[in-house]
Structure 1
């Protein structure tokens, strides 16, 4: 979740014809269909339960929870993951953002950010549930990653390739970008491993601002291509959630980038071989196009219904509006045959 979203709550509408004069065009396919509760979605995290039920968790409302029989829906809002908020108390106006949920050891783990726009003293908490249903979650408080002036502790992502593999815990937004560390064996606390930087962009966008390009929302996913196992670090870059009359210059708005490595801890490089931590690397996966503006807050999951890899995200539709509460849930399928993820119909 972009924690510098200075205009996130500003409402505004812009016609499609006017919007498209400012947005880049491409050959990206439109998002796959979404039915039911598909609006007011930011930073979604999607998992599939063993009974076939899909669960979606997202920013706003103390982590909104929705369920569906398929990735396309129909999605039904079920309530808040933490109706009373977090046991972490940082400030009176704090919000819960950017959940990341996975299943292991017979239960679901949900990592969530506690923050406020522009606030660097954030923390990430963790809650657990056997079923994932609303009303069954136990909050365990902060995972205890130490604070630093180098990073902000939001946008968590847990990765473990197998039941006996070491875990990798990715986090970070703005400041010096995306970092990695690990958690304890019970996945509830920081392991003590010093965080290391894995993605950062020091360049300044063309749109006037006094800070470098936003790099955030790291998400790890592995895939084997022609006998080589690659670890893909997806991340969001650019500005999210601007008002209709204050849109970023084309290309500077939110978009989904990727780098890859042969180890889950890097070093990660882009398709041109540029290092993603020290060389401003990053290969574009999905940018604004047609009725899709500022896609980001992404995750990746295998959809067993079609045996394909799905990239899911939030985005704005210019024909609906750019307001924070008008952002939508979307997803597209990915093709990894080239060694790099390509969005396909």
Structure 2
């Protein structure tokens, strides 16, 4: 049997090797590994490694339907993938949009951060149109009744900020219409859209019954979910809301998400890259507090998952698959594998089983045998080569 420390290292190497095999990428150079490990990459082993999704994906969204998993991600016309297992293999089965979005804003051919839900026999895909660093943004919605290639109908914008219809109404005058997520009140059946990033962080608005528009568009009953009042730059975005055992959980990504190494300095200080936070409330509308009792609108948030092992970097863009009496909740997200690269297009799908301690979600550890099928001699050979490459 391997010692715990050696097992952890084998997992790190195995994860890197499996990802590298999957995409044909080469490991980072010896110099970059040494520099990164000592300066900005968190090497803690207190957090578990991801289960490998074996798919390149940024801001993934996963729907479980009819004993299959369907993954939506940002990209050309919003690609759709299908798999029998969260770890793949994934096969692309089409796109949400047949052509560019009918919304005249941002990159209309490559929407990002989709969120798809199934309700009353219809799939609704909420997608983002914007450009990096801009508040001229829109969240659109498209619908279909089946995920078998049946065409989707693009209904256009649900909300807009910066410019366009409805952008002159508060809170759209201050917020950023990106990164939509969806929640239904367990008691009333009322549905809500959560959205936002940076400028005024994350908000929630009621949806009309058709789920294609907001309720009372001239006077939306908006509430703020998160805010960083003491920060000039407020890097919170990518919200998700889940429900478990009487609590609503507001999840979000905090920190720098993208464009690592593209400007002077290369990377943010350790811990300032994307990481996943959460708060909870008994009410779908909040207020939400973290594990210490601090309000999320006062900068609170309990860290659930972050960079680890010197291998997993900037996890975020998350979602939660709800379990049931026999299956656990699943946290899924994208992350960068430091042995492969740091471009937005290098992001990988990862996932972990959640457990709840006193009502607070925690990611669980995984064993090598449950993820990898590579023979032990290959692990050990890789292990030896890894150390010779980096430290020689």
| Rounded Cα–Cα distance in structure 2 between residues aligned with 1:162 and 1:105 | 15
**Secondary structure in structure 1 of the residue aligned to 2:234:** coil
| Rounded Cα–Cα distance in structure 2 between residues aligned with 1:222 and 1:86 | 31
The answer for unaligned runs of 5 or more in structure 2 is: 1-26, 161-165, 366-392
Residue 202 of structure 1, CA deviation = 3.2
**Secondary structure in structure 1 of the residue aligned to 2:36:** helix
Residue 339 of structure 1, CA deviation = 1.5
8 Å Cα contact 1:300/1:309 also seen in 2? yes
**1:137 aligned residue:** 152
Within 5 Å, which residues of 2 pair with 1:245-264? 246-264=266-284
Question: Kindly tell me: are residues 93 and 108 of structure 1, through their superposed partners in 2, closer, same or farther at Cα, counting changes over 3 Å?
Answer: closer
**2:176 aligned residue:** 152
| Rounded Cα–Cα distance in structure 2 between residues aligned with 1:298 and 1:220 | 10
Question: Kindly tell me: are residues 163 and 107 of structure 1, through their superposed partners in 2, closer, same or farther at Cα, counting changes over 3 Å?
Answer: farther
Tell me the matched-pair count. 319
Within 5 Å, which residues of 2 pair with 1:1-345? 15-21=32-38, 22-26=40-44, 27-35=46-54, 38-39=55-56, 41-49=57-65, 51-91=66-106, 95-134=110-149, 136-144=151-159, 146-147=166-167, 148-162=172-186, 165-192=189-216, 193-204=220-231, 211-224=232-245, 229-244=246-261, 246-277=266-297, 279-290=298-309, 291-302=311-322, 307-345=327-365
Q: TM-score scaled by structure 2?
A: 0.77
Residue 304 of structure 1, CA deviation = 6.7
**Secondary structure in structure 2 of the residue aligned to 1:341:** strand
Deviations 1:75-124 (A, max 9, x none): 11233211312111125677411101110110111000111111212111
8 Å Cα contact 2:107/2:129 also seen in 1? no
**Secondary structure in structure 1 of the residue aligned to 2:225:** strand
Q: TM-score scaled by structure 1?
A: 0.87
| Rounded Cα–Cα distance in structure 2 between residues aligned with 1:75 and 1:92 | 26
| Rounded Cα–Cα distance in structure 2 between residues aligned with 1:24 and 1:202 | 27
RMSD (CA atoms): 2.1
8 Å Cα contact 1:94/1:114 also seen in 2? no
Deviations 1:117-164 (A, max 9, x none): 112121111111111244521111111463233210111111114595
8 Å Cα contact 2:288/2:296 also seen in 1? yes
Question: Kindly tell me: are residues 118 and 33 of structure 1, through their superposed partners in 2, closer, same or farther at Cα, counting changes over 3 Å?
Answer: closer
Residue 13 of structure 1, CA deviation = 5.2
**Secondary structure in structure 1 of the residue aligned to 2:249:** strand
| Rounded Cα–Cα distance in structure 2 between residues aligned with 1:94 and 1:216 | 22
Which moves more between the two structures, 284-293 or 15-24? 15-24
More helix as a share of residues: 2
Residue 243 of structure 1, CA deviation = 2.6
Deviating beyond 6 angstroms after TM superposition, the runs of 4 or more aligned structure 1 residues are none
Q: Rg: which structure is higher?
A: 2
| Rounded Cα–Cα distance in structure 2 between residues aligned with 1:305 and 1:62 | 36
**Secondary structure in structure 2 of the residue aligned to 1:33:** strand
**Secondary structure in structure 2 of the residue aligned to 1:175:** helix
| Rounded Cα–Cα distance in structure 2 between residues aligned with 1:305 and 1:323 | 39
| Rounded Cα–Cα distance in structure 1 between residues aligned with 2:325 and 2:83 | 13
Residue 203 of structure 1, CA deviation = 4.0
Residue 195 of structure 1, CA deviation = 2.0
| Rounded Cα–Cα distance in structure 2 between residues aligned with 1:322 and 1:133 | 34
